[in-house]
Structures are given as C-alpha cells and as structure tokens.
Structure 1
Amino acid sequence: MFDARARRLLEHPLDRAAAALDVAAVTPDRITAAGLVLGLGSAGAAAAGLWTAAVLLWLASRLADGLDGPLARRRRTRGEVDAGAGGFFDITADFTVYGATVVGVAVGSSAELGGGPLWPFLLVLLAYYINGAAFLAFSSIAERTGATIDDGRSLSFLGGLAEGGETIVVHTVWLLFPFWAPQIAVVWAALVGVSAAHRIVAGYRALR
C-alpha cells in the first residue's frame, strides 16, 4: 500500500549505501544471499525464543534486501548484464525468508504462551501462498503478452493493501510482541487475503 512512497523516500539513501558497497568483492547476489542467511537466522532465533536477536536479524535481512537492487542497477549502468538470475534469486529468497519467519514466530510464540494456537499462522501461510501465486502468475503472463508494469523491479508487481513495506512492519511487530503474535497473525492473514483477492481481480482485468 505504501511501497511506492517508501521507495521514493529510501531511494537516495539506498543508492548512497549501494555506492559505498560498490567494490568487486560485493555483488548483488552476495547481498541477496546475506539477506537470506540473516532472515533464516531470524526465523531460527524466533523459534528459540530469542526475540531481540530475531528482530535485529530480521531488520538486517530486510536492509540487505533493499540494497541488492540499487547495486544491481549501478552495475547495469556500467554494462554488466544480468539475464534475470538476480531477480529470480531475490524473489525466491524473499519468499523463503517470509515463510520461515512465520514458522519461527509460530513455534516461538506457542512456546511463550505455553501451547498457543498455531492456526493463525497457518492462515498467514495460506494467504501468502495465494497472494504470491497471483502476482507471480501475473508477472509471467504479462511478460509474454506485453502488459508488464515497469517500476524498476525485476517483476511486474500489482499494487495491493499488503505489500513489502507492510510485511516488514508486521513481522517486526510480532517479533517485538510475541505474546500478541497469534492475534496479529489473524489480522494480517485477513489483510493479505484481501490483497490477494484484489490482485486476482486486477490481474485478470489487466490481462483481458
């Protein structure tokens, strides 16, 4: 919902950070890999109930996710070619981290609550599955039919109520407040579900 505005606000700071990292030993794929490892570490820390470590690792992971794109764009201006492998790695790493974090929070919060419910987190995973299927299918078909949405990212993203920015906020909040995580998960699953429904309808109309 506020991803476009956030990207405009963060564009210059991230570009400056990418410029500082623009050395031969640092590549966009290595930054993506670092974000993946940090994100999985956050999920593991959450499952173990190490909530401070979990939130710090999560935020570091999302910072890495914000830096790989600007660095890749800097490299492209110098003639380096990426046929799409970087974008593919980035989106699969994101999905892996998002799903792992849900599982980690589910395990950790259940232990904190002495056997708290797991079904809210299952609803979140279901909503993520439908939402991801909708925008990935749209991006693939749009590429073939010429209906792409070019906003500088590797895929054609249909806007929605729940996007990357909201995901970062919600995952941060339930890492900070694990006792409320099941309630947060129910609300979040509903919001992601509404976003998925919107993407399905908007994608269908865009491709007709």
Structure 2
Amino acid sequence: MLDGWIRPRIDPGLNRAGAWLAARGVSANQVTGIGLALGLGAAGAVALGAFGLAAVLVVLGRLADGLDGAVARARARTDLGGYYDIVADFAFYAALPLGFAFSGPALPAAFLLAAFYINGASFLAYAILAEKRGLKTRAQGEKSLFYSAGLMEGTETVAFFLAMCLFPAAFAPLAWVFGALCLVTAAGRVAEARRQFG
C-alpha cells in the first residue's frame, strides 16, 4: 500500500548509491546476496533473543534489497538478477517468523508463515498472468516482474518486522494482525485477478 508512495522518495538516493557501487565493480547479485545474508542473520538473531541486533540487521538487509536494483539499473539488468532478488525476498520473509517460532510462541509464527505463503502465491501467480497479457506497471518502481499493489507490501512488511524486533513481547498479536492483513491482501489480489483476467 505504501510502496508506491515511498519509492519516489527513496529511489533517487538509492540510485546514486547504486551507481557509486556499480562504478566500483560491485554487481547487483552480490548486493542481493549480502542482503539475504543480513536478513538470515536477523532471523538467527531473533532465534537467539538478540532482538536489537535483529532490528539493525533487518534495516541493513532491506537497504541492500533496495540497492541491488539500483546497482542493476546502473550496470545491466538481467532476468536472473530479478529472479535472485525475489527468491531472496521470500527467503527473508519466511526466515524472520521462523526465528520468532524458535524464541517465542510458534502458533502465531506458523499462521504468519501460512499467510505469507498464500499472499506470495497470489502475488506470483498474478505476475505470471500479467506477463502473459503484456501488462506493465511502475507504481512500485522499476521491477523485473509485474508488482500487483496490495494492502501489505514491502514497506508494511519491514514496518511490522521492525515492530516485532523492537517489541518482541508483542510478537503474537502483531503476527496475528499482520497475517490477517496478508490474507486480506491475497483476497483483494484474487478479486482483481478475476476482474482483470476473467
């Protein structure tokens, strides 16, 4: 929901940093790998109860996630790089709730993972059909696949993850609310797919 608003505000700075990194020989795939490592490190920190460290790693990992596309735009965008980026995103989105399952109540973490799975399926299936129909959008910035907007997008995910790390005692209610909003997003996307592709 907020990605379309935040992207124009952060992209100029990311693009400058990405161009600087690209000029020094850093590849977008390397930045994606660093971002994934930071995200998985955040999940490990959560599992160990180091929630402050986890919050810092979430921010750094998401910064790297924004930088990889900027580096790719400065050097050369590739389909494989776009593929790596989305796989790394989904791996991070799965890992953090799993870390909370180790350190706290497992049922809310399982619910959140199930909601992510359903929402992710609606997102990727929509992208496939959009590609098949030749649909384009830049509402969430320049992406390697069609990004269908929804209530819960990357900005909201980072905000919830940071809230969970900063207030770990509130993980369970945050996970229930976040998971429910992800299911609402998936339902909205299914309705939009019916309207667009039916």
Query: Which band: TM-score by shorter chain?
Result: over 0.9
Which residue number corresponds to residue 130 of structure 1? 118
Q: How does 1:1-208 map to 2 (within 5 A)?
A: 1-76=1-76, 82=78, 84-108=79-103, 110=104, 117-151=105-139, 152-208=142-198
- CA distance in structure 2 between the partners assigned to 1:22 and 1:145 by the alignment: 33
Contact 2:100 2:106 in 1 (8 A): no
Alpha-carbon offset, residue 97 of structure 1: 0.6
Contact 2:27 2:71 in 1 (8 A): yes
Which structure 2 segments of 5+ residues have no match?
none
**Percentage of matched positions with identical amino acids:** 41
Number of matched pairs: 196
* SS of residue in 2 equivalent to 1:204: helix
Which structure 1 segments of 5+ residues have no match?
111-116
- CA distance in structure 2 between the partners assigned to 1:25 and 1:158 by the alignment: 32
Aligned alpha-carbon RMSD (Å): 1.3
- CA distance in structure 1 between the partners assigned to 2:182 and 2:155 by the alignment: 12
* SS of residue in 2 equivalent to 1:22: helix
TM-score (normalised: structure 1): 0.90
**AA aligned opposite 1:119:** L
- CA distance in structure 1 between the partners assigned to 2:138 and 2:67 by the alignment: 19
- CA distance in structure 2 between the partners assigned to 1:11 and 1:126 by the alignment: 31
Which residue number corresponds to residue 113 of structure 1? none
**AA aligned opposite 1:184:** L
- CA distance in structure 2 between the partners assigned to 1:106 and 1:48 by the alignment: 11
Question: Which of structure 1's runs of 4+ aligned residues deviate more than 2 A?
Answer: 147-151
Deviations along 1:147-185, whole A, 9 cap, x unmatched?
343452111111111000000000001001111101111
- CA distance in structure 2 between the partners assigned to 1:147 and 1:66 by the alignment: 23
TM-score (normalised: structure 2): 0.94
- CA distance in structure 1 between the partners assigned to 2:11 and 2:158 by the alignment: 17
